[in-house]
Structure 1
Amino acid sequence: MRAAEAGPPGDTLSGRVTIAEVAPPRGGRARVRIRGELANQHDERVMIIELDGYVRSRGNTAAAPTGPLISLSTPSAAQPHSAKDL
């Protein structure tokens, strides 16, 4: 994980999680590399994280799709929000 300079309170943050790589399955498991990025309202990255995880596989070696998995953004302090907004 890399963290850039911490931003001041009140910054608006948005995040993105991407499946960066899927390794071919071995022994019933495939390695999945996930990359997460968090940016402020000026589109400056404030955090980057890469995680490797293992998932059970059925042995299908077809290429898995990659790209954004989810996109998150936080509502500004002036906007009302609830759990359903997440």
Structure 2
Amino acid sequence: MATLAKAPTKSTYRMSHAELIETAAYLEVDPTGLDTEALRAEVKRVGEARWTEENREAIEQWNAWEKSHGSPLDRYRGF
């Protein structure tokens, strides 16, 4: 009987250095003095903060809707 290999639990894609520098420039992150891993962490932090800010209104609207109507998935919960 054949078995399937376990799928990796984390994404294996990593930006190339050129993509990282391009993304840092887009996010206005200064790469000066940062090694690659520190730059990756800063790009991730700034990108997540920007996404949250750009989507704040939609998040607030969804939270308000869910507060008044309940979660649309409540009927599937067994707890």
- TM range, normalised to the smaller chain? under 0.3
**Larger Rg computed on CA atoms:** 2
Return the TM-score normalized by structure 2. 0.20
Return the TM-score normalized by structure 1. 0.19
More helix by share: 2
Asked which structure has the greater RCO (Cα within 8 Å, sep 6+), the reply is 1
More strand by share: 1
